[in-house]
Amino acid sequence: MIGHLLSAADLDRDDATLVLDTAAQMAAVSGREVKKLPTLRGRTVVNLFYEDSTRTRISFEAAAKRLSADVINFGAKGSSVSKGESLKDTALTLQAMGADAVVIRHPASGAPHRLAAWVAGSVVNAGDGTHEHPTQALLDAYTMRSRLGRVDGLRVAIVGDVLHSRVARSNVLLLATLGAQVTLVAPPTLLPVGVDAWPSEVAYELDPVLGKADVVMMLRVQRERMNQSFFPSAREYSRRYGLDGRRMALLPEHAIVMHPGPMNRGMEITPQVADSARSTIVEQVTNGVSVRMAVLYLLLSGGTKEAFREG
């Protein structure tokens, strides 16, 4: 693993497998009565969140605390950030405070790449604009592996607003690295120009894909997109691309249904599907903590096959 985790493309197959294996060990800790390891005692992890994302922030916070790191939450609201401080100045401040790792969530694609140039510590991308969310892809792969026993060879359908989705980008990259076959399913308006170059297939119809899918991953679709003519109406979107009971019945018996959250129930997924036995939505949250523990551990404790940058 490298000194930062900015993109799922930073991970080769060995790196990704090491994270998933380490996460499995971390999960064992989370099952104990005392959910804590001393590994990162004395290390400081900063959660630098420029977007509201309670679930991702507390997941990273829990992960860092279970490894005994000191955690500083630096939110965009009520801080100097809202007074117009630049990302670079914030980076220099964190640097001066001796942050060993900075977990950043930011509305601008590439902000973690910029930050990584300005701090000595490790930078973990916790979601940047419409670019990537690599720890989400790792927890999704972890969830697939724990439910289905493997990732290699799985057929994964990723359904919804691929154009604006950082979850889709990271998943396509990581799943291809791990040997899964990904099919993106979306109206053409919600697929980026240039998607042909991705290591994935594209389909415009959902039903034909479901019969062969081991995993269906539903992406959040914002209703407001219809105001920019990405689709005519929420109802038409749901009809063509939503996962309901009828469509779920088309899946092979072993197939699982995933969603990164937060869900728009009734838009891309019905309550019947979200709450079914196939749904891994709650497990994904649990697994997120283990995977983020593994990422922080591997970045900060030097327990990897390659040298780290200072930090």
| Residues with catalytic roles | 55-56, 83, 105, 133
Q: Which residue of 113, 155, 212, 240 would you call a contact of another protein, by CB under 8 A?
A: 113
Token pair listed for 268: 């891309």
Sign of CA dihedral 250, 255, 260, 265: positive
- Asked if 28 is part of the footprint of another protein (rule: CB under 8 A), the reply reads no
Q: Under rule CB under 8 A, how many of the chain's residues touch another protein?
A: 24
Q: Is 65 near another protein (CB under 8 A)?
A: no
Is residue 95 involved in binding another protein (CB under 8 A)? no
Near another protein by CB under 8 A: residue from 17, 68, 95, 130: 130
The token duo for 262 is 């937060």
Site for another protein (CB under 8 A): which residue of 29, 76, 95, 110?
A: 110
Nearest approach in angstroms of CB 114 to another protein is: 6
Work out which of 106, 145, 247, 292 binds another protein, going by CB under 8 A.
Answer: 106
Cα–Cα nearest to 176, from 3, 11, 1: 11
Among 38-46, 66-74, 122-130, 269-277, which window interacts with another protein (CB under 8 A)? 122-130
256-258 vs 215-218, strand pairing mode:
parallel
Among 28, 34, 96, 197, the residue binding another protein under the rule CB under 8 A is 197
162-195 residues labelled b (16+ CB within 10 A) or e (exposed)? bbbbbbbbbbbbbbbbbebbbbbbbbeebbbeeb
- Asked if 227 interacts with another protein (CB under 8 A), we say no
Q: With binding defined as CB under 8 A, does residue 212 bind another protein?
A: no
Q: Is 226 in the site for another protein (CB under 8 A)?
A: no
Look up residue 206 and give its two tokens.
């959902």
218-245 b/e (C-beta count within 10 Å ≥ 16 → b): bbbbeeebbeeebbeebeebbebbbbee
Is 155 a residue that touches another protein (CB under 8 A)?
Answer: no
Q: How far is the CB of 106 from another protein (least distance, A)?
A: 7
Q: Which of 38, 54, 86, 253 binds another protein (CB under 8 A)?
A: 86
Tell me the closest approach of the beta carbon of residue 80 to another protein, in angstroms: 15
The residues of the shown chain that bind another protein, judged by CB under 8 A, are: 86-88, 106, 108-111, 113-114, 128-132, 166, 169, 192-198
